[in-house]
Structure 1
């Protein structure tokens, strides 16, 4: 199997926007039973007191897992890793910015509003596009 996090190796996000990370697993004989997301080598808890963290995983010939973190804050900066069972781990670094604008800035694919529904719609459209390219 081949694992890839789209948009890496670095992603620059504005404070208060939605972090939207997509992990794709290809060439797997069957979809991985589970995919762990990590932040700075710690498994992400989706029911932590931070709130606003969710994962959507769509299994198929190409499996995609979407990590959505609403209302990004500086403490959300760091290394994010996707670890599918039976496949290699991949990582990228996220920088949550407070007004800074690096020369090659990539922004979140959707603003913090309209929230989870808008972020989910964008990620589902990304999955459709990637499945056509596969």
Structure 2
């Protein structure tokens, strides 16, 4: 699967917004890592399915899925942070974290304790 690297924001020599550019570079790296883990999941899927009776293999597959989702969440957060900083020069970490679908990751990025509520958000994953 080809990697999709979204377009970059302008170079700091042109725009001078070095923090936003750094955050966007981070986002692009995370997007590439996310794509690599998606490729791994696609490649390893049949092997994991064949070994579904093995609890250790199942947990490893779930860990790979959580890694993939986390990389996507971190890329989303970095992109939101980059857009905020680029537009205003300020960062609202809670607002940027609100774009992340994994509740525990979103909470950590916002600097708050993960929610213990029974309500589930799309993308939440329980390892067992």
TM-score scaled by structure 2? 0.28
Structure number with higher relative contact order (C-alpha < 8 Å, ≥ 6 residues apart): 1
Q: TM-score when scaled to structure 1?
A: 0.27
Q: Which has the higher helix share?
A: 2
